[in-house]
A and B are shown apart, each in its own frame.
Chain A
């Protein structure tokens, strides 16, 4: 797992056909979570599958340069932080915790051509937080489960 996998066919198929499409599908599930089945948890699991697939085939000594474990630790914490901070912001506008309707996102109404987009945008922001947190946590757990094989 530390070195690149021996089979060139496996590497080619994974790098060229599978991982890019899994990434795009994960982002699609995240963005369309408001209008179709999906959301942060599901998109996080899909993107984590792509990252684990690269770690299995391309080798962790290559993937660690782009997505090292300590960066993923930061991302996992930042994801939870996005959610918590999105909940705290309404407190400054005399509203309850996690009340998205008072978030300062009125500029988005003209873009979306809709009168009330604050709550939809609030949901999207926290879904991003959940997504970042879930995918980093899954890849972190894979990294540490395979730590024994990587340090040999």
Chain B
């Protein structure tokens, strides 16, 4: 078994300290799905109340994805398109265009 160097021992100690720190802090986080958590008290109720009336569709996720965050979805589509074009440029090397 290889002997651990000083740098590795230092790194392991730091990582263990971080694990303990995160474990300690995570006890203070609200439970998953807690209705009184700060993340769910501000905007979620607004969306649940107003989506059906304002946007006219019952699916909250689609409404947020395509309307409230329309820029984000546009960016996602363009990213997929650009990735496909980059993959094609790599894969097409050495092939002539089919006539």
Contact = CB atoms under 8 A, between A and B. Distances in A.
B70 interface: yes
A112 to B, nearest CB: 9
Given A98-B74, A147-B91, A151-B95, A119 B67 contact: yes
Interface in A119-152: 119-120, 122-123, 126-127, 129-130, 133-134, 137, 140-141, 144-145, 147, 151
A26 interface: no
Contacts of A49: none
Given A98-B74, A137-B84, A35 B58 contact: yes
B71 A116 contact: no
Nearest to B70: A98
Interface string B73-92: 11011101100100110011
B59 A119 contact: no
B74 A87 contact: yes
B77 A133 contact: yes
B91 A35 contact: no
B94 to A, nearest CB: 10
B77 A79 contact: yes
Chain A interface size, under 10 / 10 to 19 / 20 to 34 / 35 or more: 35 or more
B70 A126 contact: yes
Nearest to B97: A70
B81 A35 contact: no
Contact of A123 (B57, B71, B95): B57
Most chain-A CB neighbours within 10 Å: which of B54, B67, B92?
B67
A33 interface: yes
A76 B80 CA distance: 10
Contacts of A79: 77, 81
A123 B67 contact: yes
B84 A123 contact: no
A84 B74 contact: yes
15 contacts: A36-B59, A76-B81, A76-B84, A79-B81, A80-B81, A97-B71, A120-B57, A122-B67, A123-B55, A123-B66, A127-B62, A130-B73, A134-B80, A144-B88, A147-B92
